[in-house]
Structure 1
Amino acid sequence: MDRGTMRAAVRRGTQLIVTDVPDVRPEQGQVVARTLACGICGSDLHAVHHLEHGVEIGRRSGAPDTIDPAQDLVLGHEFCAEILDHGPGTDKRLKPGTRVVSTPFAFGPGGPELIGFSTRFSGALAERVALTEALLLPVPNGLPSEIAALTEPLAVGTHAVAVANPGSRSVAMVIGCGPIGLAVIVALKRRGIGPVIAADFSPARRALAEQMGAHIVVDPATASAHNHWEVLDVPATLASLGHAQLQGRSVRDAVVFECVGVPGMLQNLLENAPPLSHIVVVGACMEDDRIVPVIGINKQMRFSFVWAYSPDEFADTLHALGEGLIDGSAFLTDRVSLAETAAAFDRLAAPGDQVKIVVEPWR
């Protein structure tokens, strides 16, 4: 029996098109939901032109094989949706009409699969999406759908800061003030960490970083963000650290969040970040890179690579949005219809001031 069709943003070949696809059908433990808002992520942009490369990296990482690049792929994993109906094996704990968000996972035969990066479970850049009932969280306090959809990218910042675990005397630096860098700044502010140094080439993003809680904002085209360490009582060199240790002077420590993800950034931080720094790598560099490890050895630096978030961190981020502890509206730079999705991808791929564009399929 034909299950009908729906409109969706589809990666086909190396193009993003909006077309009709088969309507979603819930599997065991899933609900059918109407997508109200879905954010566009940098990983979505990369998938359009470089999906095969991403699949190969996933295989090398030991991730489950969930994508056939030869098939159509419906993207979208940052979403808010409204429950329409319950599928088989559900307990119907949330009524139809309930607005929900969730971590974007479904349970496939090989384990969890990421909605929007699976050819088994299509993403939320579509009129409807099938979601795992057990993961659903109701949207609290009348939070607007377009803001609730930001829970996912903001939770990445929550997780990155949790892994960094900065202390009361930590000085934080955020390199790159796109959506993830801004999410890190928000999470640092929520934990009372400061001062925070933020660096980005975009004037609009620097302004947003300051609005989100950064204390010092730097344009890397005109000055190095690393010029501020000594003023903030962080020894910037081995010589400076040695003097402080000989004097028995208490100094502050540095936590640096790399949120750009381009080749050369790690080596740059090895050379320019202070000794004893904790470097937290949040930006997803998809290319081969080269570093000189002995520099990190000499400076006794520590690197942490982070991905996604825990369910508790996701729920905590949603709670913070619902309670007004995070101003999600500052992240939104545009809201577009499903028909405008391809143009929105092009705008985000070009250097500029865009931060987060949310697609509203029923707009």
Structure 2
Amino acid sequence: MRCSVLRTAGELEVQERAVPRPGHREVLVRISAVGTCGSDVHYFRHGRIGHFVVRDPLVLGHEPSGRIVAVGTGVDTTRIGQRVSLEPGVPCRRCRYCHTGAYNLCPDITFFATPPVDGAFAEYVAIADDFAHPVPDHVSDDAAALLEPLSVAIWAHRRAGTGLGSRVLVAGAGPIGLLVAQVAAVQGATEVLVIDPDPDRRALAGAFGATAALDPAVDDPRDPDVDMDVDVFVDCSGAAPAVLGGLAAVRPGGVAVLVGMGADEMTLPVSALQSREITLTGTFRYANTWPAAVALAPSVDLDRLVTGHVDLDHVGDALSPDPAQVKVMVRP
């Protein structure tokens, strides 16, 4: 099979490798589509994210969909031919986190495209059968792949407790921010404010369910005259000014959720967090979200996020940031 391999930062090579053989309770999936993510871009440009370092050649890509073409022992052969969305992190199933359902925190999780584990910019992958989730015919191959970032948005709102009547502020109108905004609306938020400095991204936010798209240069939440008083703030930017602005916008007793990956450290207004009893939490991937993502797929506009397609020979083009692109898909 062919696969796109990151040899070192900034250097990709299409290689021929053996097709994986599915092991016990595994399936072999012919990949149909893979979304490109900010983490793929970061590995491509810098060769590392925090303490995850690319030391050996690595196949990127962790937002895949495809079709099961073979099964290992212990898997019902009727699954052959089934269209699936792949949940890219398979946990150990034995640790305290797995046993309590928080398998995203499993210290031994095997996650696609996280060194040293290869991802899905390839023609075939093998994965545990229960992490290959069936998708209905009305969900396209691209949308099935994008159930992964949709799961990020679902998990953020589970952490936030967003519900009927919530007033939500989302910082960053990239793919995750747009999905967070859509999921907020689906879950019953009556106001969904999206803040982003880029006018084109603000226009997109309006098309993706935001009730208002704000310019931080005009509507700075830290300005005493700007009173947003939101129940939930979700940062999808990783930018310190956006985080600080969002925290200033949260009402007393509200919740702030950090999704975007930015600097390893930043200074926070601890006294304000304490005196206003704001709950501040992070997110790390997701757990038990695919059933909800499949069910929500018709209610969110996944296909409209897609602004381009490339093949394995042009993955580098997809990983070179272009402000005009929202989500570029790889079609192996």
User: Aligned in 2, Cα 1:98/1:167: closer, same or farther, shift over 3 Å?
Assistant: closer
Determine what percentage of the aligned residue pairs are the same residue: 29
**Cα deviations by residue, 1:167-197 (Å, 9 ceiling, x for unpaired):** 4343110110111111111111111102111
CA RMSD of aligned residues (A): 2.5
Structure-1 separation of matches of 2:11 and 2:243:
32
1:258 alignment partner in structure 2: 235
In 2: Cα distance, 1:198 partner to 1:107 partner: 34
SS of alignment partner, residue 277 of structure 1: strand
2:75 equivalent in structure 1: 90
Aligned runs of 1:225-244 on 2, under 5 Å? 230=227, 234=229
1:296 to 273, 276, 288: 273
User: Is 1:314 aligned to residue 314 of structure 2?
Assistant: no
SS for the counterpart of 1:291 is: coil
Question: Structure 1 residues 283 and 163, CA, compared in 2 at 3 Å: closer, same or farther?
Answer: same
CA contact (8 A) 1:51 1:69 kept: yes
- Aligned equivalent of 1:114: 111
Q: Does 1:81 align with 2:66?
A: yes
Count the aligned residue pairs: 317
Provide the C-alpha distance between the structure 2 equivalents of 1:12 and 1:295, rounded to a whole number of angstroms: 46
**TM-score, normalised with respect to structure 2:** 0.86
SS at 2:299 equivalent: coil
Q: Does structure 1 retain, via aligned residues, the 8 Å contact 2:91–2:108?
A: yes
1:206 & 1:40 partners in 2: Cα distance? 21
Letter in 2 for 1:279: A
Contact 1:197–1:217, Cα closer than 8 Å, also in 2: yes
Aligned AA (1:320) = L
Residue correspondence of structure 1 range 142-291 to structure 2 within 5 A: 142-224=138-220, 230=227, 234=229, 254-271=231-248, 273-291=250-268
Provide Cα deviations, 1:137-187, integer angstroms capped at 9, x if missing partner. 222034220121110001111111121113434311011011111111111
CA contact (8 A) 2:30 2:67 kept: yes
Say whether 1:354 aligns with 2:325. Answer: yes
CA distance in 1, matches of 2:306, 2:285: 20
1:205 aligned counterpart, secondary structure: helix
1:327 aligned to 2:313? no
* Structure 2: distance between partners of 1:339 and 1:27: 29
Larger radius of gyration: 1
Contact 1:10/1:18 (CA < 8 Å) preserved in 2?
Answer: yes
Is 1:150–1:328's contact at 8 Å kept on the other side of the alignment?
yes
Q: Quote the offset at 1:112 in angstroms.
A: 2.5
CA offsets 1:313-345 (integer angstroms, 9 cap, x no match): 222112221xx2122122111122221110111
The letter of the residue matching 1:290 is: T
